[in-house]
């Protein structure tokens, strides 16, 4: 079976910045492979396109340009938030508000996004909501481990499930 829309794809990969000689930033092996529902909109479109047509056992290697990946960092994604936004039961966890920490948050529509603390002031916190790999070319080297039909539940949920249900 080949990788196509509405197929569950299991793969291993090594992700490097810029090229095959770049720094390794992520490695997924056969002990804990990466599993996703192709075409469900959960992956970078260019990543899915590069895998389309591959079959179990096929190896792959490709680079996604920054424009195909997460684009350039945007100044608009760096914002000042009132410090009281980070209060829980009237208190701020100062260990949480450390420069460099990533904090899971939600936008006004309820979408989850991670922000990195850039500066902490008396009344404001500067947060960067750019993707951590914005501005980077991404080089993938990997292998297709399995391609299978999704269950009805996976199609309805819009993502792949592992052996015990949700991954």
88: confidence class by pLDDT, cuts 50, 70, 90? confident
Domain hosting residue 117, numbered range? 75-128
CB 26 within 8 A of CB 36: no
Angle at the Cα of 17 (from 104 to 49), degrees rounded to 5?
85
| Per-residue 3-state assignment (H helix, E strand, C coil) for 19-43 | CCCCCEEEEECCCCCEEEECCCCCC
Residue 20 in any domain: the answer is: yes
CB 25 within 8 A of CB 139: no
For the chain, what is the domain count? 2
What CATH number should be reported for the domain holding residue 110?
2.40.10.330
| Nearest in space to 13 (alpha carbons), one of 144, 105, 128 | 144
- Percent of the chain past pLDDT 90, that is, above it, reads 77
Overall average pLDDT of the 91-114 stretch: 89
27 and 61, same structural domain? yes
Overall average pLDDT of the 50-75 stretch: 97
Instruction: Reduce the DSSP state of residue 101 to 3 states and report it.
Output: coil
């Amino acid at each position: 079976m080949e990788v196509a829309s509405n197929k569950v794809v299991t793969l291993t990969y090594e992700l490097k910045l810029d090229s095959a000689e770049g720094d390794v930033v992520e490695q997924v092996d056969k002990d804990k492979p990466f599993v996703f529902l192709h075409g469900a909109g959960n992956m970078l479109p260019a990543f899915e396109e590069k895998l389309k047509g591959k079959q179990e056992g096929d190896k792959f290697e490709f680079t996604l340009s920054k424009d195909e990946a997460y684009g350039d960092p945007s100044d608009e994604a760096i914002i000042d938030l009132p410090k009281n936004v980070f209060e829980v039961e009237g208190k701020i966890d100062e260990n949480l508000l450390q420069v460099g920490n990533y904090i899971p948050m939600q936008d006004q529509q309820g979408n989850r996004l991670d922000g990195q603390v850039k500066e902490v002031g008396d009344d404001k916190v500067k947060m960067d909501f750019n993707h951590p790999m914005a501005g980077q070319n991404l080089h993938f080297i990997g292998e297709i481990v399995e391609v299978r039909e999704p269950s009805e539940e996976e199609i309805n949920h819009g993502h792949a499930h592992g052996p015990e249900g949700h991954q």
